[in-house]
Amino acid sequence: MPPRAITPTVGSGVRSPKPKLYGLVSDESQAAVEWFTDLEEAEKALRGVLADEPDWRGVVRIAEFELTTPRVFARIDLN
């Protein structure tokens, strides 16, 4: 049996939203303190941080990051 040809392809032709990450970001350090894949979870975490540290209001915020690396799929030729 001959080896199967595997051809990498980018995308499937169907547009879907780009994946996003949400980070709790400190404006003082310019760094993300914690990462989330869900905006609601990031908002919940921010509320918790600000409840514990009210002086951080305006210093810690949620930043949205769109992932731009293309997904690579493989098409396998079974013939």
Mean pLDDT in runs of 10 for the chain (79 residues)?
46 63 88 90 96 93 82 60
Q: Give the chain's radius of gyration (CA, Å).
A: 20
Q: What confidence score (pLDDT) does residue 67 get?
A: 77
Which H or E element spans position 52? helix 39-52
Q: Which domain holds residue 25?
A: 5-10+18-77
Instruction: Give the number of domains in the chain.
Output: 1
Contacts of 5 (CB under 8 A, 6+ apart): 76, 77
What tokens appear for 14 in the block? Answer: 């169907």
